[in-house]
A and B are shown apart, each in its own frame.
Chain A
Amino acid sequence: MQLDNIEERDLKMGLANQVVFAKTLEELAANDKAILVVTSDSRGSGKLVPFAEKYPKQIVEVGIAEQNLVGVAAGLASAGKKAFAVSPACFLSARALEQIKNDIAYSDNPVKLVGISAGVSYGALGTTHHSLHDFAVLRAINNLTIVAPADNFETEQAVRKAVEFKKPIYLRLGKKPMPFLNEADQSFEFGKGRVVRAGEDLAIIANGETVYPAWLAGKALEEEHGIKTTVVSMHTIKPLDTDLLEDIAANGRPILTVEEHMVNGGLGEACASFLFQNGFKNPFKIVGIPDEYTVTGSQVEIFNHYGISGSGLKDFALELFNSKK
């Protein structure tokens, strides 16, 4: 895969995270009949057709009706089922928002909400199909864990842990194949950021599909400019890993955040809020999709347009780094 002029040969290529979700669930459902998938004409996009064929009794189809999808999942969870409500992130988090707030989070029904083809995965299908609001609206709801895994390892771990998780959770997955980041670190826990590169001069905190371009930028910063860069996959945006943030911020290094989300209300603002309220004064910049009519094009074109690429992030980081002096 090539995001722009920076290429990567070192990393092992994987599958799309939403494919890994479906495969992992398929494996787990064989021995756990309480696992149910609820879909809204979305099993194809969710790569769940094989799941449905293997376990026809473990899939509940509600048709194109996302509000119903989430309500039904709440009932299933309340009755003891491990219900995964799977639908494109755009519809799941916007259309069914009140069901998420009241029937899942407030009523504490431990549904696993799975937003697929998240962010701008759907590219040229346009704003109706983009979820650039989901972190913001869901962060404003109490009792909901929000996770956007970066690579196949994190995704598989997140799905395994979600099955046994006793609280409402939202998993946000994309449809582009992702490389494995930091295969050496095999630890994963909700609420604990994963350091995929280490370096003390600068930090890039990203999540989901933007961790890979952040990793590329970190590598280029070190190799081309001698700027040693920590890159974090902050897969859990809520609860946020504030211990890790404090550790990173402690030496005053500049911090760049990146997300496939509008700059309002997402990962960047979550980090900023913690840091500012705890007295940190690090140079800080939020990169994401700006608050404007989103440029049209494929996911890669949209990413490149807004600098969410290895070279784009490197430039943002250099600017931030030099502003410090």
Chain B
Amino acid sequence: MTDREMKLKSIYLRKSLLKYIYKAKAGHTGGSLSCTDILNVLYNRVLNVDPKNFKNPDRDRYIQSKGHCVEALFVTLADRGFFPESDLETLCQYQSHYIGHPTKKVNGVEQNTGALGHGLPICVGEAIAAKLDNKTHRVFTLLGDGELPEGSNWEAFLSASHYKLDNLYAILDYNKQQITGSNEEVMNTGSVRDKLETFGWSVKEVDGHNLKELEEALNNGPFETGKPNFIIAHTTKGKGVSYMESNLKWHHGVPSPEEYELAQSELTEAEAEI
């Protein structure tokens, strides 16, 4: 894919996830739009994964810790050919495996997530196993910023540097908001960079909507030999839809027919500008 096609892909993925949230009448809209560019870059430029042979033991691992943003993951996986996009017509319906969080019943999903603070410890295990087996694949996770206060993350931050897991990449979707309010109001994490560096990680900050910056960071690791990699991706919750951007109301929320049309037309306009 060319860089231009990558940009168009991000818009396509945003339109698509809105379509399925609208149809299912449920979904984590703001956080999915926030991480769409990250997922686009991961699945189309970074991860070595094969939809036809997903279980290949040498594949790169991606475990989405902020599982509530499953809609962004599902449309990206469908677009990469892990399953027919039409499957998503059943999102959140009776007896569908396409539910409101990632599950391994869906081809391409590594782990069942949804309770926050679980992704990183599992990634530490995967990364230790890769080292033990002399494998060269990498392990990625995506964390929410509201998710950071879960103690399990900090336990895993310690383990990752203790075991010198430079094959591990934790990406923070740093949109600075959660459900109740901003991170600062709810539980102030202060300088994430300082904390992570103190915990022995190598940290890079990127614009989480700049595909080039994301790709450069994610494909040029390890940042320092023997240290786990932390990527602070500065993002905007609801990115791409003007009335959703940085608006708490859209953490989860289903657009009305008018709102839906407006969102799609804004994205179509953005498409025309690329």
Contact check, B112 vs A297: say whether CB atoms are below 8 A apart: no
Residues of A with C-beta under 8 A to B146? 41, 63-64
Interface residues of A in 75-91 (CB under 8 A from B): 90-91
Which interface residue of A122, A128, A297 has the most chain B CB atoms within 10 A? Answer: A128
Residues of A with C-beta under 8 A to B180? 39, 41, 43-44, 61
Contact check, B95 vs A125: say whether CB atoms are below 8 A apart: no
CB-based nearest B residue for A40? B149
Docked Cα-Cα span, A161 to B155, in Å, equals 39
Question: Which of B36-44, B113-121, B127-135, B260-268 is the contact stretch?
Answer: B113-121
Q: Mark B122-146, 1 if CB is under 8 A from A, else 0.
A: 0000000000000000000000001
Interface residues of A in 35-52 (CB under 8 A from B): 39, 41-45
Docked Cα-Cα span, A44 to B248, in Å, equals 11
CB-based nearest A residue for B101? A126
Docked Cα-Cα span, A64 to B189, in Å, equals 12
Q: Mark B92-116, 1 if CB is under 8 A from A, else 0.
A: 1111110111010000000011111
Docked Cα-Cα span, A41 to B100, in Å, equals 19
Q: In the complex where A128-B67, A296-B94, A297-B93 touch, is A90 in contact with B115 (Cβ < 8 A)?
A: yes
Contact check, A297 vs B149: say whether CB atoms are below 8 A apart: no
Residues of A with C-beta under 8 A to B95? 295-297
Q: In the complex where A63-B186, A64-B178, A297-B94 touch, is A125 in contact with B149 (Cβ < 8 A)?
A: no
Contact check, B114 vs A125: say whether CB atoms are below 8 A apart: yes
CB-based nearest A residue for B113? A128
Interface of B is mostly: loop
Interface residues of A in 1-56 (CB under 8 A from B): 39, 41-45
Docked Cα-Cα span, A61 to B99, in Å, equals 29
Docked Cα-Cα span, A142 to B54, in Å, equals 46
Contact check, B113 vs A296: say whether CB atoms are below 8 A apart: no
Residues of A with C-beta under 8 A to B92? 123-124
Contact check, B117 vs A64: say whether CB atoms are below 8 A apart: yes
Which interface residue of B67, B101, B113 has the most chain A CB atoms within 10 A? Answer: B101
Q: In the complex where A62-B149, A91-B115 touch, is A44 in contact with B99 (Cβ < 8 A)?
A: no
Docked Cα-Cα span, A295 to B103, in Å, equals 13
Docked Cα-Cα span, A95 to B92, in Å, equals 25
CB-based nearest B residue for A66? B150
Q: Judge whether A67 is part of the interface by a CB distance below 8 angstroms.
A: yes
CB-based nearest B residue for A122? B100
Looking at chain A, what size class is its interface with the partner chain? 20 to 34
A66 to chain B minimum Cβ distance, whole angstroms, is: 8
Q: Judge whether A102 is part of the interface by a CB distance below 8 angstroms.
A: no
Contact check, B149 vs A126: say whether CB atoms are below 8 A apart: no
Contact check, B94 vs A65: say whether CB atoms are below 8 A apart: no
Q: Judge whether A68 is part of the interface by a CB distance below 8 angstroms.
A: yes
Docked Cα-Cα span, A268 to B28, in Å, equals 36
Out of B94, B99, B116, name the residue touching A126 (CB < 8 Å): B99
Residues of B with C-beta under 8 A to A122? 100
Q: Judge whether A127 is part of the interface by a CB distance below 8 angstroms.
A: yes
Q: In the complex where A127-B112, A128-B115, A296-B99 touch, is A301 in contact with B94 (Cβ < 8 A)?
A: yes
Residues of B with C-beta under 8 A to A44? 179-180
Q: In the complex where A61-B180, A63-B146, A65-B151 touch, is A129 in contact with B94 (Cβ < 8 A)?
A: no
Residues of A with C-beta under 8 A to B99? 124-126, 296
Residues of A with C-beta under 8 A to B96? 296-297
Docked Cα-Cα span, A61 to B183, in Å, equals 11
Q: Judge whether B6 is part of the interface by a CB distance below 8 angstroms.
A: no
Interface residues of A in 273-313 (CB under 8 A from B): 295-298, 301, 305
Docked Cα-Cα span, A296 to B97, in Å, equals 7
Q: Mark B79-103, 1 if CB is under 8 A from A, else 0.
A: 0000000000000111111011101
CB-based nearest B residue for A125? B100
Interface residues of B in 177-209 (CB under 8 A from A): 178-180, 186-187
Q: Judge whether B147 is part of the interface by a CB distance below 8 angstroms.
A: yes
Docked Cα-Cα span, A130 to B190, in Å, equals 32
Residues of A with C-beta under 8 A to B116? 64
Q: Which residues in B have some Cβ–Cβ distance to A below 8 Å?
A: 26, 67, 92-97, 99-101, 103, 112-117, 146-151, 178-180, 186-187
Return 7 A-B CB contacts under 8 Å, by A number. Answer: A39-B180, A41-B187, A68-B149, A95-B115, A122-B100, A124-B26, A129-B100
**Shortest 3 CB-CB distances between A and B: which pairs?**
A63-B187, A128-B114, A297-B94
